[in-house]
Amino acid sequence: MLRYLTAGESHGPQLTAIIEGLPAGLNITEESINRDLARRQCGYGRGGRMKIERDEVQILSGVRWGETIGSPVTLCIINRDWINWQEKMSPNARHRDEKIRVTRSRPGHADLPGAMKYDHRDVRNILERSSARETAARVAVGAVAKAFLASFDIEVNGFVSEVGGIRAERGALPLERMKELSAASELFTYDAEAEERMKAFIDGAREAGDTVGGVVEVIASGLPVGLGSHVQWDRKLDARLAMAVMSIQAIKGVEIGLGFDAARRPGSQVHDEIYYDPARIGRGELSGFYRKGNNAGGIEGGITNGEDIVIRAAMKPIPTLYRPLRSVDMQTKEPFEATVERSDACAVPAAAVVAEAVVALELANAMLEKFGGDSLGEVRRNYEGYLEYLRAF
Ligand SMILES: Cc1cc2nc3c(=O)[nH]c(=O)nc-3n(C[C@H](O)[C@H](O)[C@H](O)COP(=O)(O)O)c2cc1C
Ligand SMILES: C=C(O[C@@H]1CC(C(=O)O)=C[C@@H](OP(=O)(O)O)[C@H]1O)C(=O)O
């Protein structure tokens, strides 16, 4: 089983992730992780913080001479902004300064419920960890999961499909500079026209002091039939993927395949009919069974059915606006209008990279659950034996 934890505050010294359960013998390089970290940073609409940070990973354990050795892998990303926050974020009691307490909660953030829950009179104790800065750590972990999946020819790609109601054609990749940085997947075409309209929409919102949300999509291809299980609620792969994607900051809806649209159609226009062609196996397909459509988004009964997994997520607009929102001071109970020094106007492109990472992690976990072994060679033997069985099924 693959598990991981992240730790770190947004303006603390660093983000840390520990991954447990990776087989030995997997090639991992800091460069390949950094590629995804850069993709997360460079979408259109981000604010001042992204000009400060240039995320780079350090591998601190579990990898020797470019290969995992089976022990926990520790990844760390330094926060460059830390230099400006050393005293405000110091673990040392002598730096305590009541004057810099944040008592003004921002609507749409964890600030107020978090402070009430944890008995904090300083909202910073909540916002530092609820910040989406944490997603840098998850993207680093996801890059490792993608390296594992790639060794089985499984590819996971995230992209933006909608910004502020403007839709791109399926397969569009309207993430500025991300096109070049993304794996050259044949699944994707690049909808430059939609990207331009999205950028103009983001500019318009930013000028009005407002923020923008959107929809991201992740497609995973090359998966075998049989990951996940129908037998228990918490083994269903669609449920696990939904939880992983919903756990991303600002994601408010998740759908798989047709998703909500399936509720609006008759069954005859929803379910993917089953066909069989033995010649497919000769062409290198994993099975003779196939579908002509993929409304199910690659999962039936919580189990992969061999088609691509297609999962979409709705991101709400960034809650911190330059145009103030009404709130109430926690200490004085006086109303105020929340103002901001810096914030993203749109982080949908970044969320697409984060969604890709968390989906990759769940899929890597599902692969290891089914074909698990202590070395990559052992996992591969288990996997290949299963493929041989599948071809004969
Ligand atoms: C990549 C990314 C960047 C974000 N940047 C900001 C930001 O600059 N300002 C902000 O107020 N919220 C930002 N958010 C959203 C908040 O972190 C999120 O809305 C907040 O923590 C409350 O959590 P919830 O929306 O999941 O309920 C960002 C989210 C993501 C995924
Ligand atoms: C730092 C990142 O995103 C941050 C997420 C975030 C929030 O409230 O979620 C608020 C902003 O941080 P700050 O308050 O320091 O300007 C974003 O920049 C990042 O994505 O690496």
Q: How do beta strands 325-328 and 335-338 pair?
A: antiparallel
- Contact (Cβ atoms closer than 8 angstroms) between residue 40 and residue 216: no
Could you say which ligand is closest to the alpha carbon of residue 8? 2
Could you give the CA distance from residue 341 to residue 356 in angstroms, rounded to a whole number? 30
Q: At 313, is the secondary structure helix, strand, or coil?
A: strand
> Probe ligand 1: pick from 9, 42, 344, 354, max atoms within 8 Å of CB?
344
Closest-lying ligand 2 atom to the alpha carbon of residue 55: 21
Q: What percent of the chain has pLDDT over 70?
A: 95
What confidence score (pLDDT) does residue 183 get? 46
3-state secondary structure of 291: strand
- Cβ contact 357:138 at 8 Å: yes
Q: Kindly give the number of the ligand 1 atom that is closest to the alpha carbon of 110.
A: 22
Instruction: For residue 213, report the distance from its CA to the centre of ligand 1, in Å.
Output: 10
ipTM of the complex: 0.98
User: pLDDT tens across 310-366, in order?
Assistant: 999 999 999 999 888 999 999 999 999 977 878 899 999 999 999 999 999 999 999
Q: Is the CB of 144 under 6 A from ligand 2?
A: no
**Dist. CA 197–CA 107, nearest whole Å:** 29
CB of 54 sitting under 6 A from ligand 2: no
Which residue has the CA at smallest separation from atom 18 of ligand 2? Answer: 49
For residue 262, what are the domain limits? 3-392
> Does 318 appear as a known binding residue?
yes
Contact 10 CB / ligand 2 (< 6 Å) = yes
111 within ligand 2 shell (Cβ under 6 A): no
CA of 279 to the centre of ligand 2 (A): 51
Q: Is 317 annotated as a binding residue?
A: yes
Mean pLDDT of the chain: 92
Residue-wise pLDDT for 136-185, tens only, equals: 999 999 999 999 999 999 999 888 889 989 988 754 454 544 444 444 44
| pLDDT of amino acid 176 | 47
Q: Which two tokens stand for residue 301?
A: 């009964």
Q: What's the average model confidence in pLDDT over 263-285? A: 94
* Ligand 1 pocket mutation, candidates 249, 320, 346, criterion most atoms within 8 A of CB: 249
129 labelled binding-site residue: yes
Report the residue count for the chain. 393
Tell me the CATH number at 279: 3.60.150.10
Q: Which amino acid residue places its CA nearest to atom 25 of ligand 1?
A: 250
User: Cβ < 6 Å from ligand 1: which residues?
Assistant: 47, 108-110, 130-132, 135, 248-250, 316, 318-320, 343-344, 347, 350-351, 354
Does the Cβ of 136 fall within 6 Å of ligand 2? Answer: yes
Least confident of 225-234, 301-310, 334-343, 362-371: 334-343
Mutate to test the pocket of ligand 1, among 131, 245, 340 (most ligand atoms within 8 A of CB): 131
Residue 28 carries which side chain, given as an amino acid letter? I
**Residue (of 316, 353, 311) closest to 214 by Cα position:** 316
71-103 pLDDT tens trace: 999 999 999 999 999 999 999 999 999 999 999
Check residue 222 and report its DSSP letter: S
Indicate if ligand 2 lies below 6 Å from the C-beta of 211.
Answer: no
- The answer to whether the annotation marks 291 as part of a ligand binding site is no
How far, in Å, CA of 272 to CA of 276, rounded?
A: 13
> How many distinct structural domains can be found in the chain?
1
Residue to mutate (ligand 2; options 11, 82, 343; most atoms within 8 A of CB): 343
Specify the ligand 1 atom closest to the Cα of 132.
17
The per-residue pLDDT for range 17-70, each reduced to its tens digit, is 999 999 999 999 999 999 999 989 888 888 888 899 999 999 999 999 999 999
Which amino acid is residue 104, in one-letter code?
R
Ligand 1 mean position, distance from CA 226 (Å): 35
Atom 19, ligand 2: residue with shortest CA distance: 133
In which residue are the tokens 């699944």 written? 187
